[in-house]
Chains A and B, each alone.
Chain A
Amino acid sequence: MQMDTNSSQIRLSAVGVVAISLFLTLFLRLWFLQGIDRKQFEAVSESNRLRVIHEEAPRGRILDRNGKVLVDNKTSVVVSLDREPLRKMEEEDRHELFVRIADTLNSLAVPVKVNLIEKRFNDTRYAPQDSVPIAENVDDTVEIYLTERADKFPGVIVDRKAIRTYPYGSTAVHLLGYVGQINDRELAARGGSDATADKDGSTTSSTTTTSTPGASPRLDYRPGDTIGKSGVEQANEDDLRGIPGQRTIEVNARGDLVDVVKVDPPKQGNDVWLTVDVDLQAHAERLLESKLFALRGGRDKQGNRLNVPQGSVVIEDPSNGQIRAMVSYPDYDPASLVNGISQDRWEAFNDPNSGLPLVNWAIGGTYAPGSTFKLFGAYAGLHNGFLTGANAVINDNGVYKIENCKGGKCTRQNAGRNRYGRVNLPRSLTVSSDVYYYRLADKLWNLRGQYGETPIQDAAVAFGLGAKTGIPLVGENVGRIPTPTARREAYEARPELFETGGWGSGDNINMSIGQGDVLVTPLQIVNAYSAFANGGTLYQPQVVTKVTRSEDPTADVTEDGNTELVRTVETKVRATVPFEGDHWGEIFQGLLGVTQVKGGTAYASWHETPTAWPMAGKTGTAQVKGKADTALFVAWGPAVPGIPPEYTIGVVIPEAGFGGTVSAPLAFRIMQPLSEGQLPPACPVADTTACDLAAMAAFEAAKADAARGSRD
């Protein structure tokens, strides 16, 4: 009995010890979890229930030099998917939901296909916690319909985002550029989130991710973000892009929004002010477009069809290199691209028959400059001292016989076989005597021991040809200034591609009148003439004057106190072209004569549409094998000694005819109201009636110009 009790007591004590150790275990484990591992689990808890929603900021506006808004923002309603709750659904239920979403959207006149929704749902470019857009720019009625029935569409979010709007339609579209969704390459280049690296979101529990919303670095770009694809939108991306906002929301286990925890509102990007005057831009665009329409379908004297696939107008301020207008035709409507470019449209844009509207031909197109190149021969001959004494004046009987010519075609003629008689340097430019430049080029080549192999090319390069002007836009072409060395090197590299690696008088002669292999962009030739007009300063062309920040981005930028200057764009001088003696004056006299002296190649068209002050310049008609000529005209004004020039204009229209009859009249039509201070204001798209009337008037004027004839 005693033994029994003792044994029973001992056993009971053993049970007590077991109980104590079990409770100790629980206490220890509880302390381990709550006291030691807390931080780690707390982070997991947060990543479980918090979603950080990336809110892209509206981009800054793009303004013209006077503060007129060329690119603005408007609110667009976007339908997107929060994929987190959808992943927890059964495959069939999810598919059924997608079908229901597509069906509903289609019945609300938003064309969305089920396989697009599936594709977006599985899109690995988005981080797993990011929502993916399935329809953009939808109606308010869609928003109301979906938000009222949110419980029927789990995971469907209706949100608002800012999209681009263009008050002046397609005006200046090449300069402004367009925006689109960032692609993988751009994302990588800008160090955006690599969504593919952390795509584990397919499991039902998101707790396996150890990253917390707060700890992940705040990345500027994410898939689906908007980025500038061309023009200033692309070049000034860093100014225009705003600071993205973040909305931290709390969701329950089903993924329903429970609470908004934190809001970092997005900050709109900075406003970019262009050097361009939208009134001048719209005016030039209207006239160029009308001109092209009027020309198209006609034939020149050789019977070549005037296809006029494209055209460019560049207007620059020669005193600082600022671009006042830059027109490239054909154009496109940037507003039609804000929701992305469809495959069909992309193909149409890249069809050569469309004239390649996405290309900014003013900086990307290269053309033989024709007689506008004579400026550089004239400069070279004066600068190296060849055009002095007997060499400065010739008797132009319309034909030039090449010296040391052995066999083949040893004579060259003036265009239209014109005879100009006694021709000095100014007159050679005024009447555009080819013979004068044939002789110059021939002699210089024969005297290359004395003057070097490339005095004319060197002059062209001094004026900035054969190199990018450095305009801060993507897509600038470098052009080409042929030299004996370059030709030999090209031949030696690929002998099978070239007839010869040699260079002779014929090549020098062709080059001297802007033919042969010479290629320039419209901007290059304008910038070169600007350098001459201002007395020899070669500027880097600019398209932006300043960047500002607006306190209230919806208010007028001209309002006092609303804008704060972020930075101004400095004028950049690339080089100086030296002029000795009266060399500048001689050339100036010749170029002024083009419009002011009877016999000048643009004399008739200037008098048809005279500007308030005289203009000096040069026509050019470049031959292109098998095609109609390229019509060029470059000029500046006021061309008055002692008065600083304000505008240099260049008009380049391929497959169009003579520079003097096609491009010069157009240039004066553009410049006349500008010089008189009576530029019609550009009309916003909201005011189409007035615009249509102005466009019709421009079209009639262009037709009248086209009908008239004149010499080159």
Chain B
Amino acid sequence: MSAFRSRDLSSPWRHVDYVLLGVTLLVATFGLVMVFGASRHFSAAGSFVGKQAVFMVLGLAIMVGLALIDYRRIADWWLAIYGGSLILLAGVLTPLGSLGDWGTKGWYVVGPVAFQPVEIAKLATVVAVAGYLGASRRVDLLRLGGALFLLALPMGLTLLQPDLGSSLVFILMGVGMLVVGGVSLRYLVILALVGFLGVFGILRSDTLDQYQKDRLTASFNPEGVSAKARYNVEQAQIAISSGGLTGYGFGKGPSTRLGYVPAQRTDFIFTVAGEEFGFLGAGSLLALYSVMTWRIWRVAQLARDKTGTLLSVGVMSMLLFHIFENVGMNLGIMPITGIPLPLVSQGGSSVVASCAALGLVQSVHMHRYA
């Protein structure tokens, strides 16, 4: 581990992924502007943007910190990290936790700051699975079972909140990491079948509340869902579509400005981009995310070991699912779940967690020769 201005060619400082860093900063800036745009018509606009900026700075600091630490050291500590996140995740179900926007008991509220432990748990689970699977070359049935257990535990706790959207993230993260982690094709096919049957069974059973089923099926069955869910989907599409090619201009989108789109600072913030900046703006944001995803994929490819690859793939799967689900929900092709848009949706936990995830990826990139 070297000091600043090292002449060592393998020094981490020489291998910062500047493209990833640049894209991260651009998306974060875009996000701040969007939060301002979405909240400028509320009296507390300043405090929303101010808080978001503070979390952004905090998140970037954590990102830099994590990038500087060798990811292998972090992976060595996976059990502690994972265990800590599970405790936090379980604690939220006790009277210490609070209810959030969508009726999920997933928050700790301390004074003016609300903290959502599932955001940390997702990343911790990525670290845990990467550390666990990265430790051995081959993935036998036992190790697969272990990995599934690592995924299932936080996912189960999240379902108890009940936060359906976030628990789906664990599945998608798991799929990405298990596929790349070398699980044999046979097991993967069996897992996929079990998964499909499971989803079908859950939808048929009473495990989920009606509103959750409604939200999940909104884009496939618009007639059968509640008026509120349909209203959200419709308003988001109206706002985005009427933005057209270039949008109404910053702060001028009627649907968002007049409050027709619900949760527009958080889950539906993409509508603000779509309505006010049009296809050029919203498309640019998507393009930035594409570049971000490509760079993370590239890091996974360049990683010096399996742990690094799995860390990157885990983060990529997590972010990709967040982006696709959130934007897809805004565009009316995915069901409504309370999943934030990384680095853009207002919300401290999400911002900090996304930054930390990108910090880990940078660490994998920076330490590939070290």
Q: Would you give the 0/1 interface string for A28-39, flagging 1 where the beta carbon is closer than 8 Å to chain B?
A: 011101110110
Contact A207 B241 (CB under 8 A): no
- Shortest Cβ distance from A213 into chain B, in angstroms? 13
Interface presence of B259 (CB below 8 A): yes
Question: Per a CB cutoff under 8 Å, which of A34, A49, A253 touches B282?
Answer: A34
CA distance A9 to B180 in the complex (A): 8
Interface presence of A14 (CB below 8 A): yes
Q: Which residues of the other chain, B, contact A42 by a CB distance below 8 angstroms? A: 241-242, 244
Contact A205 B231 (CB under 8 A): yes
- Shortest Cβ distance from A46 into chain B, in angstroms? 8
Q: Which of A16-24, A56-64, A108-116 contacts B (4 or more CB under 8 A)?
A: A16-24
Interface presence of A27 (CB below 8 A): yes
Q: Would you give the 0/1 interface string for B287-299, flagging 1 where the beta carbon is closer than 8 Å to chain A?
A: 0011001100100
Interface presence of B240 (CB below 8 A): yes
Interface presence of B239 (CB below 8 A): yes
- Shortest Cβ distance from B62 into chain A, in angstroms? 25
The SS class assigned to the B binding surface is: helix
- Shortest Cβ distance from A13 into chain B, in angstroms? 9
Contact B260 A34 (CB under 8 A): no
Interface presence of B237 (CB below 8 A): yes
In the complex, what residue of chain B is closest to A7 when comparing beta carbons? Answer: B182
Interface presence of A500 (CB below 8 A): no
Interface presence of A571 (CB below 8 A): no
Question: Per a CB cutoff under 8 Å, which of B240, B260, B300, B306 touches A30?
Answer: B240
Q: Are A207 and B286 CB-contacts (below 8 A) given A12-B301, A258-B258?
A: no
How many positions in chain A have a CB within 8 Å of any CB in the partner chain?
40
CA distance A44 to B182 in the complex (A): 50
Q: Are A34 and B258 CB-contacts (below 8 A) given A22-B320, A27-B283?
A: no
Question: Per a CB cutoff under 8 Å, which of A4, A8, A19 touches B316?
Answer: A19
Contact A26 B244 (CB under 8 A): no
Interface presence of B243 (CB below 8 A): yes
In the complex, what residue of chain B is closest to A42 when comparing beta carbons? Answer: B242
Q: Which residues of the other chain, A, contact B294 by a CB distance below 8 angstroms? A: 16, 19
Interface presence of A15 (CB below 8 A): yes
Q: Are A38 and B230 CB-contacts (below 8 A) given A49-B255, A49-B260, A207-B235?
A: no
- Shortest Cβ distance from A260 into chain B, in angstroms? 14
CA distance A164 to B230 in the complex (A): 48
In the complex, what residue of chain A is closest to B325 when comparing beta carbons? Answer: A22
- Shortest Cβ distance from A523 into chain B, in angstroms? 61
- Shortest Cβ distance from B243 into chain A, in angstroms? 6
Contact B182 A4 (CB under 8 A): yes
Question: Per a CB cutoff under 8 Å, which of B258, B300, B309, B331 touches A33?
Answer: B331
Contact A48 B327 (CB under 8 A): no
- Shortest Cβ distance from B268 into chain A, in angstroms? 13
Q: Which residues of the other chain, B, contact A250 by a CB distance below 8 angstroms? A: 254, 258
Q: Which residues of the other chain, A, contact B274 by a CB distance below 8 angstroms? A: 30, 33-34
Contact B254 A49 (CB under 8 A): yes
Contact B297 A16 (CB under 8 A): yes
Q: Which residues of the other chain, A, contact B245 by a CB distance below 8 angstroms? A: 34-35
Interface presence of A190 (CB below 8 A): no
Interface presence of A141 (CB below 8 A): no
How many positions in chain B have a CB within 8 Å of any CB in the partner chain?
51
CA distance A7 to B294 in the complex (A): 20
Contact A41 B242 (CB under 8 A): yes
Interface presence of A395 (CB below 8 A): no
CB contacts under 8 Å to B, within A26-85, are: 26-27, 29-31, 33-35, 37-38, 40-42, 44-45, 48-49
Interface presence of A710 (CB below 8 A): no
Interface presence of B361 (CB below 8 A): no
Interface presence of A254 (CB below 8 A): yes
In the complex, what residue of chain B is closest to A45 when comparing beta carbons? Answer: B242
Question: Per a CB cutoff under 8 Å, which of B180, B239, B278, B293 touches A11?
Answer: B180
CB contacts under 8 Å to A, within B249-306, are: 254-255, 258-260, 274, 278-279, 282-283, 286, 289-290, 293-294, 297, 300-301, 306
Q: Which residues of the other chain, B, contact A19 by a CB distance below 8 angstroms? A: 293-294, 297, 316, 320
Contact B234 A30 (CB under 8 A): no
CA distance A612 to B259 in the complex (A): 79
Interface presence of A485 (CB below 8 A): no
Q: Would you give the 0/1 interface string for B210-238, flagging 1 where the beta carbon is closer than 8 Å to chain A?
A: 00000000000000000110110011011
Question: Per a CB cutoff under 8 Å, which of A16, A29, A205 touches B333?
Answer: A29
Q: Which residues of the other chain, A, contact B156 by a CB distance below 8 angstroms? A: none
Q: Are A30 and B283 CB-contacts (below 8 A) given A15-B176, A15-B316, A205-B234?
A: yes
Interface presence of B137 (CB below 8 A): yes
Contact A15 B313 (CB under 8 A): yes
Interface presence of A353 (CB below 8 A): no
Contact B179 A11 (CB under 8 A): yes
Q: Are A204 and B231 CB-contacts (below 8 A) given A11-B179, A252-B259?
A: yes
CA distance A12 to B316 in the complex (A): 11
Q: Which residues of the other chain, B, contact A9 by a CB distance below 8 angstroms? A: 301
CB contacts under 8 Å to B, within A245-272, are: 250-254, 258
CA distance A54 to B91 in the complex (A): 58
CA distance A29 to B270 in the complex (A): 13
Q: Would you give the 0/1 interface string for B307-334, flagging 1 where the beta carbon is closer than 8 Å to chain A?
A: 0010001001100100110011001110
Interface presence of A302 (CB below 8 A): no
CA distance A44 to B242 in the complex (A): 9
- Shortest Cβ distance from B217 into chain A, in angstroms? 18
CA distance A42 to B241 in the complex (A): 7
Contact B237 A41 (CB under 8 A): yes
In the complex, what residue of chain B is closest to A41 when comparing beta carbons? Answer: B241
Question: Per a CB cutoff under 8 Å, which of A8, A31, A34 touches B243?
Answer: A34
Q: Are A45 and B255 CB-contacts (below 8 A) given A9-B301, A33-B240, A34-B243?
A: yes
Contact A31 B286 (CB under 8 A): no
CA distance A27 to B286 in the complex (A): 7
Question: Per a CB cutoff under 8 Å, which of B179, B234, B283, B324 touches A15?
Answer: B179
Q: Which residues of the other chain, A, contact B331 by a CB distance below 8 angstroms? A: 26, 29-30, 33
Interface presence of A203 (CB below 8 A): yes
- Shortest Cβ distance from B83 into chain A, in angstroms? 28
CA distance A7 to B182 in the complex (A): 8
In the complex, what residue of chain A is closest to B317 when comparing beta carbons? Answer: A15
Interface presence of A211 (CB below 8 A): no
Contact A8 B231 (CB under 8 A): no
- Shortest Cβ distance from B179 into chain A, in angstroms? 5
Interface presence of A25 (CB below 8 A): yes
Contact A49 B258 (CB under 8 A): yes
Which of A14, A27, A250 has the largest count of B CB atoms less than 10 A from its CB?
A27
In the complex, what residue of chain A is closest to B279 when comparing beta carbons? Answer: A34
CA distance A31 to B176 in the complex (A): 28
CA distance A207 to B237 in the complex (A): 11
- Shortest Cβ distance from B269 into chain A, in angstroms? 15
In the complex, what residue of chain B is closest to A258 when comparing beta carbons? Answer: B258
Q: Which residues of the other chain, A, contact B317 by a CB distance below 8 angstroms? A: 15
Q: Are A12 and B240 CB-contacts (below 8 A) given A30-B286, A34-B245, A252-B259?
A: no
In the complex, what residue of chain B is closest to A34 when comparing beta carbons? Answer: B279
Contact B286 A23 (CB under 8 A): yes
Q: Which residues of the other chain, B, contact A12 by a CB distance below 8 angstroms? A: 180, 297, 300-301, 309, 313
Chain B interfacial positions (CB closer than 8 Å to A): 137, 176, 179-180, 182, 227-228, 230-231, 234-235, 237-245, 254-255, 258-260, 274, 278-279, 282-283, 286, 289-290, 293-294, 297, 300-301, 306, 309, 313, 316-317, 320, 323-324, 327-328, 331-333
Complex A-B: 16 CB contacts under 8 Å: A8-B309, A11-B182, A12-B180, A15-B180, A15-B297, A34-B241, A34-B245, A34-B279, A35-B279, A38-B244, A48-B238, A205-B234, A252-B260, A253-B259, A253-B260, A258-B258
Beyond A12-B309, A16-B294, A207-B235, list 10 extra A-B contacts (CB 8 Å): A4-B182, A25-B324, A31-B283, A33-B237, A33-B241, A33-B274, A38-B244, A49-B254, A205-B235, A250-B258
Closest 6 CB pairs of A and B: A41-B241, A252-B258, A253-B259, A42-B242, A33-B241, A45-B242
Chain A interfacial positions (CB closer than 8 Å to B): 4, 7-9, 11-12, 14-16, 19, 22-23, 25-27, 29-31, 33-35, 37-38, 40-42, 44-45, 48-49, 203-205, 207, 250-254, 258
